[in-house]
């Protein structure tokens, strides 16, 4: 049985070299919240509906339904996608060519906490979602970029690290 919050979609085939169009990602994951996040959004919608119930049942149902739909759309829309595709690492809106990546280190929950706390460099790019407690630390080897490394949340750090290493080797 898979975790309901697991939204990783690793590709079974590597990206084709020399393909004129965009290639299939070798790794892709949308960092959606877990069950608790969805429950909070729907719970907020229910509270709005209940608060308006004494005034008008129709308005309460309409506002509750609208708030539920808005909450679901907002959670989906604001959840970043982490992907390795077309020779790039993408995390949210940011992207970097894999040729500029250095060492890739997988981080368990405790190592991620340390990297986000005492060891965090203010110049680092961080794509963080609290509900994805593990991640990867990827150093950058671009002398023109002041960003020393990327710290990216993922529920599958080993899969992401493997995809990055494979893309860099290709």
The predicted model scores a pTM of 0.78
- HSE on the CB side for 71, CA within 13 Å? 19
At residue 18 the predicted structure's pLDDT band, cuts being 50, 70 and 90, is very low
At 170, the pLDDT band (50, 70, 90 cuts) reads confident
**In 1-134, where do the E strands start and end?**
27-30, 81-85, 88-91, 94-97, 101-107, 125-127
φ/ψ of 162, rounded to 5, equals -60, -40
**Residue 19: is its pLDDT beyond 60?**
no
* Percent of all residues in the chain with a pLDDT value above 70, rounded to a whole number: 86
Confidence band for 22, pLDDT divided at 50, 70 and 90: low
Sign of CA dihedral 16, 160, 130, 117: negative
Residue 118's pLDDT is 85
């Amino acid at each position: 049985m898979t975790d309901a919050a697991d939204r990783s979609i690793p590709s079974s085939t590597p990206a084709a070299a020399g393909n004129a169009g965009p290639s299939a990602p070798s790794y892709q994951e949308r960092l959606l919240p877990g069950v608790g996040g969805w429950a909070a959004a729907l719970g907020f919608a229910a509270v709005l509906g209940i608060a308006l119930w004494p005034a008008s049942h129709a308005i309460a149902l309409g506002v509750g339904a609208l708030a539920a739909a808005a909450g679901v759309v907002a959670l989906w829309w604001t959840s970043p996608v982490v992907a390795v595709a077309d020779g790039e690492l993408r995390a949210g809106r940011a992207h970097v060519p894999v040729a500029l990546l250095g060492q890739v280190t997988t981080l368990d929950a405790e190592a991620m906490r340390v990297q986000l706390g005492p060891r965090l460099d203010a110049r680092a790019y961080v794509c963080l979602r609290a509900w994805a407690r593990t991640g990867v630390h990827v150093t950058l080897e671009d002398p023109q970029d002041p960003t020393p490394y990327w710290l990216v949340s993922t529920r599958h750090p080993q899969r992401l690290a493997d995809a990055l290493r494979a893309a860099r080797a290709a």
